[in-house]
Amino acid sequence: MSIKFAKTDHPVQEMIATRYSPYAFSDRPVSGADLRSIFEAARWAPSSYNEQPWSYIVATKEDAGEFERLLSCLVEPNQDWAKLAPVLALGVTRSRFARNDQENGASRHDLGAASAHLTFEATARGLSVHQMIGIVPERARELYQIPEHSEALTALAIGYAADPADAASPYRERDAAPRERKSIAAFVFTGTYGQSKPPFAEG
């Protein structure tokens, strides 16, 4: 059982309860077969008009030059811990529909859905994913020639979680702390926003 196993108020699938975003990663490499499967999971995420407006730029430690290049697209505090992960990726989203060149207001949502699919497939395989917004988008655009109407939005560190005690000192306590979330009543409503409980609420 994960050291970060969530104490949920209601039953959920085990991989949801065990998923968390570590700051400490083992140096164990991730197999090509596992990487293919987790990006296959991203491939099958839902999207507006089936547009699939996401792309990923991936680097592994097997290619040190590419890994350092992608690492440099993270803000420095994220570089401090993400450099330990064996795999890094940038999540890129295209802001206009290919079908009609109109603005796609769902593009960021859809990248998030793809990355969630990726994350749960990784969790099912014993891997961990730490998603982050702390990147330098214009550096990514320059280094990877990301085209107009597309942008690097997020980064993902992928690998096997290590003992939280191995995390860099600024993150050690955060990595070891129990997972906490708002209650359902704090974000699910029926009727007046922010006030009315949904009909399935308890109590």
Angle, helices 32-43 vs 107-124, to 10°: value is 140
The residue ranking higher by pLDDT, 106 or 194, is 106
Give per-residue pLDDT as tens, 52-88.
999 999 999 999 999 999 999 999 999 999 999 999 9
Domains and CATH numbers, the chain: 21-161 (3.40.109.10)
Q: Which one, of 142, 41, 135, 155, lies nearest residue 90 by Cα? A: 155
Alpha-carbon distance values, 135 to 59, 73, 92, 175, 176 (Å): 15, 6, 12, 20, 24
- Could you tell me what percent of the chain has a pLDDT over 70? 98
- Could you tell me what percent of the chain has a pLDDT over 90? 81
C-alpha 163/C-alpha 90 separation (Å) is: 25
pTM exceeds 0.95:
no
Q: Which one, of 164, 170, 200, lies nearest residue 185 by Cα? A: 200
| Per-residue pLDDT, 3 | 62
User: Is 90 exceeded by the pLDDT of residue 169?
Assistant: no
